[in-house]
Structure 1
Amino acid sequence: MAKNPERRTALTDAAIEVLAHEGARGLTFRAVDARAGVPVGTASNYFSSRDDLFMQAGARINSRMTPDPDRVEQAMRPAPSRELIADLMHWLVQRMADDRTGYLAMLELRLEATRRPALRAQLTRTVRAAFDDSARFHRDAELPGDNDAFLVLYLAMTGVLLEHFTLPDMLADTELDQVVETVVTRIMPLR
């Protein structure tokens, strides 16, 4: 296996682009090579199999979706409140919009995971770890809402993002910012 980390990252990012634009069936070494603009056969020097390519793409998406700790620290300066939760959810939507390709690729990976047990196991571990980290962050920051409220917020925001990125016209008569405000207001207590 080739060891150039910058090239591996570029190829993995190209794989994410392929997933987002062509779906899991379109994710081939040749498609990754073409998207990355490298000679045919390059991706096969960096990934041992198509399954490895799926796994590496999932890990890279997770890395891309993780917010910068300095930005998190800055976002958490206001006192814990329902309004702060709303601000955090608006920021979440913006971060996902800023990496729309990564978000769509993750949806493709989730669908592919229904057919690939190893990918399902890895994605489950990754998503569960991120969920647990977020729940712990919510508790440690003393944000309003108990564990059940956090779970419902997570599930609601997952649904909002799914609709927004896959069928945006479904909610065309409702402003996205207002949907986020409504979700937070209905789920999270004032204190």
Structure 2
Amino acid sequence: MGTEHGEKPRRGRPRDPDAEPRIRRYAVQLLLERGFDGMTVDDVAEAAGVGKATIYRRWASKDLLANDAMTDLFDIEIPDADTGSIEGDLRQVYRDALAFVNRKEGVALIRLAITELNRDEQFAAFYRSFLQRRIALTAAALERARRRGEPIRASADPVLMVQWLAGILILRAMTGEPMPAVEDADHLVAMTMRTIME
């Protein structure tokens, strides 16, 4: 029995529009719980309620899934900022970063990075990629500020701007010290501003 107007009948189940964000969410959860080696596509598929084929249609490998899931997490938790001033941009990014690392998922991510960086080259490559993206966003923020006429020093270094804050968070995760509170963002921004402004 055919369809009207020569239309071909659809086969299979319709695509689940919520599948991708759900898969990413469970991939991150399993990464944080088990590390890269302990996260499997089988387990992500089971947790997300999808078949393995659904995952492999979107991501060709576990590496790509893990990278995409963690990148998505960072972009959601610590989005880029364009507030109209470099101080405003830094304050927003710092506040978002501190809010994230003061949650159990944020601390778990830093501890995962510390554990996996020297053991798993794939995870190390992902983490370097994340830092490079942050450095590129910081460099773009500095360039926007210069175009607006803000007196940014020629020596302002986006690499060090990213690494010094990341270093504080990693050191505190390693030593078990409390993370800086969200309210500490103003103090951290003031320290950064003294090094980048004329």
TM bucket by the smaller chain?
A: 0.5 to 0.7
Distance 2:119 2:128 in 1: 11
Distance 1:178 1:101 in 2: 19
Residue in structure 2 matching 1:33, options 45, 68, 75: 45
2:76 match? 64
2:3 match? none
Residue in structure 2 matching 1:96, options 97, 100, 109: 100
Answering whether residue 159 of structure 2 is matched by residue 154 of structure 1, we say no
For residues 91 and 183 of structure 1, do their structure 2 counterparts lie closer, same or farther at Cα, with a shift above 3 Å needed?
closer
Deviation at 1:67, TM superposition (A): 1.8
- Counterpart AA for 1:91: R
CA contact (8 A) 2:86 2:145 kept: yes
CA contact (8 A) 1:19 1:27 kept: yes
CA contact (8 A) 1:11 1:32 kept: yes
Deviations along 1:124-176, one digit per CA (max 9) or x if unpaired, are 44532331122121231245454544433211111223245x3574247xx54
The CA RMSD over aligned residues, in Å, is: 3.9
Answering whether residue 139 of structure 2 is matched by residue 132 of structure 1, we say no
More relative contact order, 1 or 2 (CA 8 Å, 6+ apart): 1
Distance 1:184 1:8 in 2: 36
Matched residue SS, 2:177: helix
- From the two aligned structures, give the one with the greater helix fraction: 1
Structure with higher Rg: it is: 2
Matches within 5 A, 1:68-79: 72-73=81-82, 76-77=83-84
CA contact (8 A) 2:27 2:69 kept: yes
Normalising by structure 1, report the TM-score: 0.63
CA contact (8 A) 1:153 1:183 kept: no
Normalising by structure 2, report the TM-score: 0.62
Deviations along 1:54-110, one digit per CA (max 9) or x if unpaired, are 233234234324527xxx34xx25x555xx466335423345248753674476368
Q: Structure 2: which 5+ runs fail to align?
A: 1-12
Distance 1:80 1:103 in 2: 27
Answering whether residue 31 of structure 2 is matched by residue 19 of structure 1, we say yes
